[in-house]
Structure 1
Amino acid sequence: MILAHASDPHVGSIHDEALLSAWRSLPGALDGVRPRPGLLMLTGDLTDHGTAPEYRRLDDLLSGLDGLGVRCRVVAGNHDDPAVLRETLPHLFGEVADDAGSPAVWTEVVDGVTLVGLDSSSGTLGATQLSWLDGVLAAATGPVLVALHHPPFPTGLHQLDTEWPLVDAAALRAVVARHPVVAGVLCGHDHRHIATVLDGRVPLVSAPALSWRPRLDLRPGEPLTPSPSHEPAGLLIHVVDELGLRTHHLPLAH
Structure 2
Amino acid sequence: MIVIAHLSDPHIDSEQRSIERTRAVMTYLEGLPYDLDAVLVTGDIADHGLPSEYEEARRLLTSRHPVLVCPGNHDERTAFREHLLGLPAAPGPVNQVHHGPGLTLALCDSSVPGKDHGHLDDETLTWLDDVLAKATTPVLVAFHHPPVTLNMPYVDGIRMFDEQRLAELSTRHLRLRAFLAGHAHTPAATTFAGLPLLVAPGVVSTSRLPWERRAHAQDHVHLDLPPALAFHVLDADGRLTTHYRSVTV
Query: TM-score, normalised on structure 2?
Result: 0.85
Q: Which has the higher helix share?
A: 1
Partner of 2:115: none
Q: Are the structure 2 counterparts of residues 175 and 33 from structure 1 closer, same or farther at C-alpha, using a change threshold of 3 Å?
A: farther
Question: C-alpha distance in 2, partners of 1:36/1:141?
Answer: 23
Q: CA deviation at 1:103?
A: 4.4
Query: Which residue is equivalent to 2:197?
Result: 204
**1:237 counterpart (227, 231, 234):** 231
Partner in structure 2 of residue 61 of structure 1: 60
Question: Which whole-Å CA distance do the structure 2 matches of 1:103 and 1:87 have between them?
Answer: 13
In the TM superposition, what is the alpha-carbon distance from 1:44 to its structure 2 partner? 0.2
Gap change, CA 1:22 and 1:90, over 3 Å in 2: closer
Letter in 1 for 2:103: V
- Which deviations, in whole Å up to 9, do the C-alpha atoms of 1:1-26 show, x marking residues without a partner? 2111100011117xx44433433432
Contact 1:154–1:161 (8 Å) recurs in 2 = yes
Gap regions ≥5 residues in structure 2: 113-117
Percent identity of paired positions between Structure 1 and Structure 2: 34
Match of 1:114 in 2: 104
**Post-superposition offset of 1:117:** 0.8
| C-alpha distance in structure 2 between counterparts of 1:198 and 1:223, whole Å | 29
Taking the TM superposition and a 5 Å limit, the aligned residue runs for 1:212-223 are 212-217=205-210, 223=218
CA offsets 1:106-139 (integer angstroms, 9 cap, x no match): 1121112111010011121112211221222122
How much does 1:35 deviate? 2.8
2:44 is the alignment partner of 1:50: no
Is the Cα–Cα contact under 8 Å of residues 42 and 143 in structure 2 kept in the other structure? yes
Aligned CA distance change for structure 1 residues 86 and 160 (closer, same or farther; 3 Å): same
Contact 1:29–1:250 at 8 Å: present in 2 too? Answer: no
How far the C-alpha of 1:31 sits from its partner, in A, is: 4.4
1:195-251 Cα offsets, whole Å, 9 max, x none, are 112354x211111111111111159xx6561127x3322121111232321111111
* Mapped partners of 1:6, 1:32: distance in 2: 16
How big is the shift at 1:179?
A: 1.7
Q: Which whole-Å deviations, capped at 9, do the CAs of 1:86-123 have from their partners, x for residues lacking one? A: 122225x9xx9x9xx83410112111211101001112
Matched, 1:250 2:245: yes
Q: How many equivalent pairs are there?
A: 237
